[in-house]
Structure 1
Amino acid sequence: MTAAEETVRGVLAANLKRVRAQRGLSLSELSRRAGVGKATLSQLESGAGNPTLETVLGLSRVLGVPISDLVEARPAGEVTVVRAADTEVFSGRGVDLRPLRRIEAGDVVFEVFDQVVRIDGTQISGGHGGTEHTVVQAGRLRVRAGRHEVELGPGDYIGFDAALPHSYTAVSGEPVRSVLLLQHRSEQRLHLADPAEGQAPPGPAPGHGH
């Protein structure tokens, strides 16, 4: 395991335990709601295991927090530099997602990800909170969002309500490089430094994928 993987797993372990405690959820209850095995959750909270993209996203939906509140430490200083070698990739059925930064502006929170849509599968989501923004950098990407389908090339952008069922597929025989931004209202975000917040556990959320 690399130093970056150890850091990400350590951050995820600490944040997951804290959020789960603030939500008042046992391991068994979180396992049931998220559809993740209790043994897997126990491993994640101990800093072990190999979390998939679907697992991390499922936990963020059920706990009612953005992904960055689970996988990121708090940034410090006026300048933030994120090196590719220092971040872990979370892989899903058709996407490799690398968390880069959370940006807070007023009552809006943006999560910034480096996203690669692989050619070996389609990433399908039943829908989740927030608004999804994608800018294609290389390759051609087919996006389905609700009843809409569009093909994007380098420099193209799409934005949509992430509650819509949606999917990403690489269609040019090569992986698609893109920047993904997930936009949330700040009230969706659990402030991890304040243990008094976020006591009411949310209900289960359907769907898988990002």
Structure 2
Amino acid sequence: MDDPVVHTVRVVGATHHFPSPSAIFVEYRDGDELRSAARRLGVPLVHEPWRQLSESLVRIKPGVETSPPVRGGAPIEKWDAQSRRFTVFEIRTAWPSGLYRQEVFGRFRYALHSQDKWYKTNHAEGVYIIAGQNDELIRWRPDPTDPASAPGTLIVDNGVSLPDPQRRAVGLCTGLGPKIGKHSRNTRYDNVPRDIAEAVANSLRQPLTLLLETSGGENGI
């Protein structure tokens, strides 16, 4: 039996991100060759780890109750769903519902305000919790060369990001990092099956928008 062919892909990330890990791809003809390659590489052999991770995703929800931002402290910022960024918020009489952040001891503290209560959260999850069902933050497009095939592209809107569990699940579909759209700046994860995309969207309390038709440019990316 010939040794399997192993390819290492060096991933170059953007300068403002942490360095992306390299990916190793193995060419093999049967299960024995694949198991042999795993032993040579010193790694466990796991079948479809992205599917296992997607099945373990839990629907996000607000954290425990907490206190509101401190008036008179560092500037208070509120998430603006239109611009997809935090803007300085001047509190006058009442706190509108929404996602807030305030720097405390050099780190941002995030809190959700809903029905006169405050809840702990983080940036990534808080954005999805307050998002409406019509915001279309997550999209999926089938492979334009073979629309009937299972894998496609998961597209996350500009200004938002996936929480770590969801990002790991879709990232393992290729083993490579996401791509950023040249014009829209959306984040794109390739080779994601539709059922995995639906599991991710459901865990983030969002409907999955299907892009079944493509046009020029970046095809909606």
Which interval holds the TM-score relative to the shorter structure?
A: under 0.3
Higher helix fraction (1 or 2): 1
Question: Which structure is richer in relative contact order (CA contacts within 8 A, separation 6 or more)?
Answer: 1
TM-score (norm 1): 0.25
